[in-house]
A and B are shown apart, each in its own frame.
Chain A
Amino acid sequence: MVEFSLLLRALRRHKIIVAILVLEFAITFAILSNVFFLTAQRFSTLYQKSGIQEQRLVIATLHSDGFGALLPSSGILDEAKGVVAAVPGVIGVSIVGQTPFSGNDMWRSKVSRTRGEGGATVDASTYSGDAQAMSVLGFKISSGRWFSREEFESGGAIPELSRIHLVLITRQLANKIFGKTVPLGETLYVTGVPMVVIGVIDVLSRPAYYGADKSEDAIFLPVIPSSAVTSSVAVRMSDNLRVPVEPAVHAITSSLQRILRGRSYWKVSSFQEQRRKYFETDSAALRVLTLALVAISVVALNAISASSGYWVRQRSRHVAIRRAIGATRGQIVAYFLIENAVICMTGLFVGASLAVSVNLWMVRNLGVGFIPPSSFAVGAALLFSIGQAAVLYPSLRMPSEFGRP
């Protein structure tokens, strides 16, 4: 290909502008692929499934100032349950140990397939609740069954695990511990205590988020919580959309304030509010990242199109000469597009090594994951099209015959 060697020779003769263009492509690529990756990661965090019916669910939690002697007695939970059930629009009330995205991952257990130290143990958030917990929270059981009423134990101050024989496990955790087999009837050791798996919960997120691969490491024990301060009262509102949730939250709050003890107070909010609060930092970070993505794209687009466009225009005299000796418009345009593609590819190659080293540094120092190839692909495609567009327009406007443009 005569034209291609000509092209390379031309590139060698204009080292400065070519170097600037290559570096522009490279740095833009390194930044874009990393920012794109971080944005995608935040996005998936923010839209993490909880596994429960998030709409029309209200969570009430008792808080307390001071410690020890002033803790309200556990009877307050049953009392609260009765009071809340009387609020209009409430169709179900349940006492649960913890709730997804509350930020308070209080009860966690080491679970494993074998009793000893040998097998792999997984740190699992431990949910507990009364018989209504599944219907009120609204999570789904994909195989097996929910506990029957007589299988529930009441907690005591610290629940005694040895009295508990049955357990539910999330699908994600089941895959980790039992592999592909459906683990119904299998034995799961919960901090050394053997329990029989009687059901698999389809999806149930933990009270706190630890990254996608650990987001659902959770088990459910048939224990009715009795520690008033750490537990919550979950309230399911009727699906009648004419009864809005917000007034119900107020009604529940005021009914609960009537049964206060000591220095305690109730915090009541809709589940959606709880979720929004938990991910507040992530959504703020997502806004910043999105803004950064737009800003970087604008500056980079401007830089690359200015440099490429300028360099095409600068050679109008050469184009005119080549047109005069028989080159077609199509050939001229193709020449510039191919030239830009060569520069862009070189830049992407340099940029990929830069992007990977930035990413490796982050992996080593900051616990960020590896960039998936898809992030690279998006960045590369974006830059390639920006580069081509930047030369296409000026090269189409090149003079058609020798003379002044």
Chain B
Amino acid sequence: MRYPLLKLKYFVALALRSFWRDLFVTASIALTLGAGIGASMTTFSIVHILAGDPIPTKSAVLFQPSVSLDGSDETDVQPKMAYQDAKAFTERSLSRESVILAQGLGPVETDDRRGGQGSSLLRFTTKDFFRMFDIPFASGGSWGQKEDVGGEHVAVLSKETAIHLFGSTLAVGKAIVVGGAVFRVVGVMDNWHPIPRFYDLSIGAYMHPEDVYIPIRSIGDLNSEVFVSFNCGDGADAGAIMSGRFDRLFHSECTWTTVWVELPSSSEKREYSDFLAGYLKEQRSVGRAAPRGRQSLRNLLDVLAQAKIVPGDVRVYTVLTFLFLALSLLSAAGALLGGFLQRSSEVQIRRALGASRSDILMQFLVESFLLGVVGGAVGLLMTLIGLSAVRSFPSLAAQVVRIDGTVLGVTLVLSLASGVIAGLVPAWRAARGEIGLELKLG
């Protein structure tokens, strides 16, 4: 093709002129495309956020080992286990990072009892928690090995909790009271809200992280104001723990902990799952595990996939909005077909004056491409409106929905493609006609 740029400029000029001539039709096509793009991008960005990778730099190397000694069918996506199993699992991972987690609830106060918040979410864990999950600190940092082993009274606060209790994030060295025991603040986290809340999905995949983090061994010193989530087969253990004798958690078969380990290579992963199999065998031989007992080692992304955390509604709407996008493309194609064929006399004159069929095809494609761009802009606007409407929904999942680079990119590609897709068949049909026939009749 000679002078391609010049031709392109000419086609754009022709397109703009035809838009102007039929402003109403142009606007209705752009709006239709925009509605389709807006609706499908709204649900796409919801799914993209809700089912996203919460920690992309590490999701491939984070694994959750678990064991079910009696082999019962777990209803929990992240099954809990007894402390001695969790301890064995973390001690095994040697040089690599590993962490034990447990969840609780209880009142937190400043030591002068002037400031406080009622039911706060408590996380009982080990020192690697913060490094393993890339948690940013506003001041101070994690506790160390010594505090973990001794169950010392140290605490890390979330940013909101520090501000609520002490007025600022500069709270290192201050003291708080949790479950009747005094804890020294060693670190204050910066904003951290992984979506989904992969490390513990049990209280909701879109719940905010905990308010206060303390060494798991310190749990024995707390009183019954604190509630620890646990499950006991033995009624005597359960009774004792309910009344605040939390040391029983460490020396019973009650299940209440989960573990994460970091396994950077596939050989380490293999080694670790061999260890788990061996561990279960050993527990069978000492009579702790039933013959039906099971163990598993699952990657973070598998855990999330099995948890089916995206609400069913959202997936229904996603299917329907993409059907709607197909409808809007069809509708645009129908309108373009009408528009292009109505201009067949114009086509015949241009053909008679020497324009080739591919010129005509290109001219119409440029026109529909430009329509798609306008439609995409309308669609982006509609996506923003749609998402702000979604955020007004009374559910935790709705609050975390936002637009990001990926969604913008997909919208851009979709809008560039939509016009061409809608225009392809109509443009081909319009360029196909024979010279002469229409001129005579017209």
Q: Which A residues are within 8 Å of any B CB, using their own CB?
A: 16-17, 20-21, 23-24, 27-28, 30-31, 34-35, 38, 65-70, 263, 280-281, 284-285, 288, 292, 295-296, 299-300, 302-303, 306-307, 310-311, 314, 354, 358, 361-362, 365-368
Given A30-B323, A263-B118, A281–B395 Cβ distance below 8 Å?
A: yes
Q: Given A28-B327, A66-B106, A299-B324, 4 other A-B contacts at CB below 8 A?
A: A16-B426, A68-B224, A284-B394, A288-B389
Pairs across A and B, CB under 8 Å, 21 listed: A21-B334, A23-B330, A27-B327, A30-B323, A35-B320, A66-B226, A67-B242, A68-B244, A263-B107, A288-B389, A292-B320, A296-B327, A299-B32, A303-B330, A306-B334, A306-B338, A310-B334, A311-B338, A365-B315, A366-B312, A367-B312
Distance, CA A16 to CA B323, complexed state (A): 20
**Contact assessment for A368 and B312 in the assembled complex, using a CB-CB cutoff below 8 Å:** yes
| B327 contact from A285, A288, A300, A361, Cβ within 8 A | A300
A70 to B337 CA separation, bound complex (whole angstroms): 75
When distances are taken between beta carbons in the complex, the residues of chain A under 8 Å from B35 are 295, 299
Main secondary structure of the interface of A (DSSP, over half): helix
B334 and A307 form a contact (CB under 8 A)? yes
A20: which B residues are within 8 A, CB to CB? Answer: 330, 333-334, 337
In the complex, B6 has a CB within 8 A of chain A: no
Q: B107, A65: Cβ atoms under 8 Å?
A: yes
Task: Report how far A17 CA is from B335 CA in the complex, Å.
Answer: 10
Pick the contact of A67 from B28, B227, B328 — CB < 8 Å?
A: B227
Q: Are B395 and A67 in contact (CB under 8 A)?
A: no
The answer to the question of B429 belonging to the interface, with a C-beta cut-off of 8 Å to chain A, is: yes
In the assembly, what is the distance between CA of A362 and CA of B119, in Å? 38
Closest chain-A Cβ to B105's Cβ sits at a distance in Å of 8
Q: Taking the complex as formed, is B203 at the interface, i.e. its CB lies under 8 A from any CB of chain A?
A: no
In the complex, the answer to whether A299 meets B312 with C-beta atoms within 8 Å is no
Residues of B within 8 A of A31 (CB): 320, 323-324, 327
User: What's the least CB distance linking B180 to chain A, in Å?
Assistant: 10
Kindly state whether residue B331 has any CB partner on chain A within 8 Å.
Answer: yes
Contacting residues of chain B (70-128) with chain A, CB-CB under 8 angstroms: 105-107, 118-119
Inter-subunit contact A17/B337 (CB<8 Å) = yes
Query: In whole angstroms, what is the CA distance A302 to B36 when docked?
Result: 14
Check if A281 sits within 8 Å of B225, measured CB to CB.
no
Interface residues on chain B, number (Cβ under 8 Å): 45
Nearest chain A CB to B100 CB, angstrom units: 23
Residues of B within 8 Å of A30, CB to CB, are 323
Quote the shortest CB–CB distance from B338 to chain A (angstroms): 4
A65-B119 contact, Cβ under 8 Å, with A281-B395, A358-B323, A367-B312: yes
A16 near B327: Cβ-Cβ < 8 Å: no
Tell me if A302 and B327 are in contact (CB < 8 A): no
Q: Which residues of the partner chain B approach A295 to less than 8 Å between Cβ atoms?
A: 35, 39
Q: Are B313 and A285 in contact (CB under 8 A)?
A: yes
The minimal Cβ–Cβ distance linking B122 to chain A, given in whole angstroms, is 12
How distant is A273 from chain B, measured CB to nearest CB, in Å? Answer: 14
A70 partner residues in chain B, CB cutoff 8 A: 224-225
Per CB-CB distance, the 6 closest pairs between chain A and chain B, nearest first, are: A68-B224, A303-B331, A307-B334, A366-B312, A66-B225, A65-B118
A296–B335 touching, CB < 8 Å: no
Query: How far is it, in angstroms, between the C-alpha of A314 and the C-alpha of B429 when the chains are bound?
Result: 15
Chain B residues, CB < 8 A from A27: 323, 326-327, 330
**Which residues of the partner chain B approach A358 to less than 8 Å between Cβ atoms?**
319-320, 323
Q: A302 is contacted by which of B32, B105, B312 (Cβ under 8 Å)?
A: B32
Q: How far is the CA of A354 from the CA of B319 in the complex (A)?
A: 12
Cα–Cα distance between A358 and B319 once the two chains are bound (Å):
8
Closest beta carbon of chain B to A299's beta carbon, Å: 6
Contacts of B335 in A (CB 8 A): 303, 306-307, 310
A238 nearest CB across to chain B (Å) = 33
Cβ B337 vs Cβ A38 within 8 A = no
Contact A302 B118 (CB under 8 A): no
When chains A and B are docked, how far (Å) is the Cα of A296 from the Cα of B326?
12
* Cβ proximity bits B188-221 to A, threshold 8 Å, 1 near / 0 not: 0000000000000000000000000000000000
A361 to B425, CA, bound (A): 31
Q: Chain B residues near A302 (CB, 8 Å)?
A: 28, 32, 331
Expressed in whole angstroms, the Cα–Cα distance for A368 and B312 within the complex equals 9
Question: Which B113-172 residues sit within 8 Å CB-CB of chain A?
Answer: 118-119
**Distance between Cα atoms of A368 and B314 in the complex (Å):** 13
Interfacial chain B residues near A299, Cβ < 8 Å: 32, 35-36, 324, 327-328, 331
